[in-house]
Structure 1
């Protein structure tokens, strides 16, 4: 694909209207079950953690309850750590890495930190292995008021009472080959813009906040993850996905200005992870383990430097 004419929906140079969104939605196929993969896993955590339903997505005929997992021994005197996954439903290890962290590691922080984990923010997209929600909106550009995405609005309501008390927020993502083959061409078509081909970095990297960088925090996470999987190198321009590499495996975005999930709180320590599940050097298990390792390293650094 090298221009919007290659995408099967829309007219090149013209943004989509309701008819094009409906045509796009009609092409989406349910490939997996949120109930089976995610809800049942969360139910298995009930005995050890509090599980709260913080909203419901209504996309008739589908209805998706949204769940967050919370420390059972919540103590307002302790720092709060927020972990989010599945903002983009197709980024599988973001969901299962968050669940892995809760299952294997969250208990280690009992009495030291309050944990709030929202593992699958966009279940409609999780089932269809897509970046956008039912309305062809990217939830990860929608963390602003008023939000155009039900998924983002629900999470912001959940976090609002804690927003200024959250010390650390880590948002778990993937970069996949389908970013280049499907999602970026679809974005160009939806917005009536030309598609500009890019490259997919091979390995794990982080996105720091341009406005409030925390380089030592980012490097602590990189150091932990490189024991699990490889770190993405800079390209020949010294960049990863078009952004300057400021340290090994680290780039920066203005998180809040872009409406990104990682920019939704006033947390001192924030980051977005990106793993590459299509790499011949990584397995799905490694990707999930890398996400969990990143969460542990993020919490450990925040606690040590709070």
Structure 2
């Protein structure tokens, strides 16, 4: 499979005018204020709502929020849930919100809970993987990051000064990865894309530096109760990466600048849901995201 992208020239990386041309084609398609920010603020009775930054993408401005345990206690382990690093991945945002709304109060008896529901609100509104500068926030979690979304999230977590034991980062893999985002990436970087695999179902990406296979297995087993797990392809791979165990592959999240590599937490995972599958619904995708967080936290609790 190959696909030419309408911006740029084959095998030549984009210049500034290409990125400007790309940006001019983007349009707001849904409301962060109505669909996300309002839900965050509605949780103020259950969790502390903290604004940790602001993005000014003229003419659009976005406030960035964290939801945080009201009963914060330094002796408790801290857990982090992130969504919307890729703003277009809808169930990641709404899965983080659903966990915060329906389950965070229970788990804050055992943990200090932090939820960053939508790290990339411009991406949410325009249904984009990148920010307006054609930068992927989920390849930008490192010092002096070029993505303000990533930089502000890291700065906020650092200000809390806590040791995070677990980080679950909520994502999707969609049909638009092939129709738009993979071709755009290849065009931007002047390369050819050779991976067109989109797994049909839910899977996890663990961290090669701390894979924690038992932890990943516990999450997969929990998620399997609410939504299908993606089978490996004929090469025993998912998205071109060898399967470590059923429903799990591993990336070096730190080297790649992934959100799951932003802390020193020993237990980290990135979820991937396929919302375009025949058996998928918006609700069971959200349910899968919530189940992943619950599976992760229950595993840690059961460690004693």
Q: With the length of structure 1 as denominator, give the TM-score of the two structures.
A: 0.97
Alignment check: 8 A CA contact 1:180 1:197 kept: no
Counterpart of 1:151 in structure 2 is 149
Alignment check: 8 A CA contact 2:78 2:162 kept: no
**3-state SS, counterpart of residue 171 of structure 2:** strand
Counterpart of 2:130 in structure 1 is 132
Provide the C-alpha distance between the structure 1 equivalents of 2:298 and 2:205, rounded to a whole number of angstroms: 18
Q: Deviations over 1:264-302 (max 9, x none)?
A: 100010000000000011101000011011111111112
Name stretches of at least 5 consecutive residues in structure 1 with no aligned partner: none
How much does 1:12 deviate?
A: 1.2
Counterpart of 1:259 in structure 2 is 257
How much does 1:197 deviate?
A: 4.7
Provide the C-alpha distance between the structure 1 equivalents of 2:206 and 2:233, rounded to a whole number of angstroms: 18
Alignment check: 8 A CA contact 2:204 2:216 kept: yes
Provide the C-alpha distance between the structure 2 equivalents of 1:162 and 1:170, rounded to a whole number of angstroms: 18
Corresponding residue to 1:199 among 190, 197, 200:
197
Counterpart of 1:2 in structure 2 is 2
Q: With the length of structure 2 as denominator, give the TM-score of the two structures.
A: 0.98
Alignment check: 8 A CA contact 1:164 1:266 kept: no
Q: Deviations over 1:225-263 (max 9, x none)?
A: 000000000100000001111111000000100000001
Counterpart of 1:287 in structure 2 is 285
Counterpart of 1:88 in structure 2 is 86
Counterpart of 1:273 in structure 2 is 271
Corresponding residue to 1:183 among 181, 184, 187:
181
Corresponding residue to 2:296 among 284, 295, 298:
298
Provide the C-alpha distance between the structure 2 equivalents of 1:156 and 1:143, rounded to a whole number of angstroms: 7
Provide the C-alpha distance between the structure 2 equivalents of 1:168 and 1:215, rounded to a whole number of angstroms: 14
Counterpart of 1:239 in structure 2 is 237
Counterpart of 2:27 in structure 1 is 29
How much does 1:47 deviate?
A: 1.1
How much does 1:163 deviate?
A: 6.3
How much does 1:111 deviate?
A: 2.4
Q: Deviations over 1:51-81 (max 9, x none)?
A: 0000011111111110010000000110000
Alignment check: 8 A CA contact 2:139 2:256 kept: yes
Change (3 A) 1:164 1:103: closer
Q: Deviations over 1:188-247 (max 9, x none)?
A: 000011232512100000001111110010011000000000000010000000111111
**3-state SS, counterpart of residue 30 of structure 2:** coil
Counterpart of 2:172 in structure 1 is 174
Counterpart of 2:62 in structure 1 is 64
Q: Deviations over 1:74-129 (max 9, x none)?
A: 00110000000000011000000000001111111132110000000000010000
Alignment check: 8 A CA contact 2:23 2:132 kept: yes
**3-state SS, counterpart of residue 78 of structure 1:** coil
Alignment check: 8 A CA contact 1:228 1:289 kept: yes
Alignment check: 8 A CA contact 1:164 1:265 kept: no
What is the alpha-carbon root mean square deviation over aligned residues? 1.1
